[in-house]
Amino acid sequence: MAPLQLRNLCLNSLLLLLLFTACSPTQGYKLSKREVVSSAQVKSIINADSSRLYKAGISLYSKYYSGLILLKQTDATTSHLVFVTELGMKMFDFQIRDNEMKLIYVFEPLNKPELLNLLENDMKLICLQHLLNKEVDVYEKAGENSRIYKLQNKKQRHFYVTDAPSRTVSRVLVKGSMRVKENVEYSYDSNGNASHIKLKHKGFIRLKIELTAITKKV
Amino acid sequence: MHKFFVQLLLVCISSLTFAQVAFKPVKDTVALKAKIDNMSKNTGSIDSDFTQVKNMSMLSEKITSKGHFWFLRQESGAQKSNNLRWEYTTPYQYTIVINKDKILIKDEAKVKKYDMNSNKVFKEINDIMVSCVNGTVLNSNKFKIAYFENETGYKLELWPTQKNMKESLKKINMYFDKNVTSVVKLEMQEPGDDLTTIEFSNKKLNGPIAAEKFMLK
């Protein structure tokens, strides 16, 4: 190998290494243990005591859908995520039971497998269904309240940045082998309920979901 | 078409409260249709408050929203257009304007503009809403209509006839006062028995409404 090629190879490798380490959400954190995440560590987005209503905006490529998303726990193991338009038409209804999402209803023009898979995955991500009751790596940093949970499967790594005292997730990063694929950010009200949630895909899929909590009573 | 336009507009707009007396089939449906036609012809504008309640039966959950509704029939020579504005004010801000073949939506601060045919999903929802409001639904072959009455008013049940619509909508109920001066209430029932009710109140008929109401910036 020519000296110039060797030098370029070394530089490229160094750059890639820097890129990987600089972008790692766990930078500065140490793997402390592996545990099953329960509600004692992370509070669910779905409130067991009362339903939550959000103003929702979904931007998908050139289309924009707005409406309301209702999150409601109907029994000890079952919850629903329902999207209705402002005018009252129901668009979809997902049932969440034991960390599995099942489509109960979809407005016929939206009944497209690719779209529904995308929505299902994103709603699971927003509702922390990939994290809760799963065994994950826990990263901690001395003197910090934040804790990062890392979940890995064949294709993706999920990083959940949490505030341990309040048991809330502030950010979720989904990374592929090379780059960030999705990012979710959460804000909370004084009662610890999610007041604003923003999901954004990076790369080829141009999808954004934004939820803002509103009151059901007028 | 405009004569039907006002049918539901009026439909949508009465402050009368219906007693929950059992409805029975109307014997003289021709006379009732004539009354509704007459109501449409005599209504050039509507200005009304509305209350919408979305009742999700399976979840035992209700979402209530309120706002203001405007309708204006414009005639310029041979051209007629029907303009609508639904302005939701609580618990969220959302405005939808139908101005000829354009749909304008203001969601919080964002304004979006669509051609009526550009969005299949939106068109489907919009077609149902507009045809109810403008009364074209009465002449539509998309619905089979049954006419009922009680001591205080009339109820029209509109049952979808097309397979794709049946998948999204079980039926629409339209309530009129006994003199057929206006529509009192609209109910849209979905296949899972979820129900959306829109009731109109504080209505003003045939008052002046500025054309700017049907523009969004």
CATH number, domain with residue B54? 2.50.20.10
* Residue A28 to residue A68: CA distance in whole angstroms: 39
Looking at chain A, the whole-number percentage of residues with pLDDT higher than 70 is 88
Cβ-count burial of A140 within 10 angstroms (0-12 exposed, 13-18 middle, 19+ buried)?
Answer: middle
Within 10 A of A213 (CB to CB), how many other CB atoms are there?
18
**Secondary structure E strands in chain A:** 30-36, 52-60, 63-75, 78-84, 90-97, 100-106, 135-140, 146-152, 157-163, 168-175, 180-188, 194-201, 207-214
pLDDT at residue B123, as a whole number: 63
* Residue A14 to residue A3: CA distance in whole angstroms: 16
CA distance B31 to chain A (A): 32
pLDDT at residue B20, as a whole number: 55
Q: What is the mean pLDDT of chain A?
A: 87
| A86 touches A66 (CB < 8 A) | yes
Would the pLDDT of A140 be above 90?
yes
Q: Could you read off the pLDDT of A123-137 as tens digits, one per residue? A: 999 999 999 999 999
Q: Dihedral of the CA atoms B50, B187, A71, A83 (nearest 10)?
A: -90
pLDDT at residue B128, as a whole number: 65
B/e letters for A59-98, b = 16+ CB within 10 Å, e = fewer, are ebeeebbbbbbbbbbbeeeebbbbbbbbbbbbbbbbbbee
CA distance B206 to chain A (A): 25
Beta carbon pairs, A and B, within 8 Å? 84
* Residue A173 to residue A171: CA distance in whole angstroms: 7
* Residue B74 to residue B209: CA distance in whole angstroms: 11
Contacts of A63 in chain B (CB under 8 A): 119
Number of domains into which chain B is organized: 1
pLDDT at residue A20, as a whole number: 45
Q: Could you read off the pLDDT of A162-213 as tens digits, one per residue? A: 999 999 999 999 998 778 899 999 999 998 999 999 999 988 888 999 999 9
Identity at B174, one-letter amino acid code: M
| Structure-block tokens of residue B208 | 């002046």
pLDDT at residue B197, as a whole number: 95
| A216 touches B62 (CB < 8 A) | yes
A66 Cβ under 8 Å from any chain B Cβ: yes
pLDDT at residue A8, as a whole number: 64
B112 Cβ under 8 Å from any chain A Cβ: yes
What is the number of helices (H) and of strands (E) in chain B?
A: 4, 12
**Secondary structure E strands in B77-210:** 79-90, 94-99, 102-107, 110-115, 143-149, 153-160, 171-177, 183-189, 195-205
Looking at chain A, the whole-number percentage of residues with pLDDT higher than 90 is 57
**Cross-chain Cβ contact A86/B91 below 8 Å:** no
| B155 touches B186 (CB < 8 A) | no
Contacts of B120 in chain A (CB under 8 A): 109
**Cross-chain Cβ contact A86/B88 below 8 Å:** yes
Contacts of A105 in chain B (CB under 8 A): 191-192
pLDDT at residue A18, as a whole number: 45
Nearest residue of B to residue A86 by CA position? B94
Spans in chain B with pLDDT lower than 50:
1, 4-6, 8-19
Domain that holds residue B44: 2-214
* DSSP 3-state of A166: coil
What average pLDDT does range A15-41 have in this prediction? 76
Domain that holds residue A58: 3-214
Pick from A51, A63, A93: which is nearest to B119 by CB? A63
What is the predicted ipTM? Answer: 0.77
A53 Cβ under 8 Å from any chain B Cβ: yes
| Structure-block tokens of residue A147 | 């804790």
**B 41-60 residues with CB < 8 A to A:** 52, 54, 56, 58-59
pLDDT at residue A5, as a whole number: 65
Number of domains into which chain A is organized: 1
Contacts of B20 (CB under 8 A, 6+ apart): none
Find the CATH number of the domain harbouring A22: 2.50.20
* Residue A149 to residue A123: CA distance in whole angstroms: 19
**B 130-159 residues with CB < 8 A to A:** none
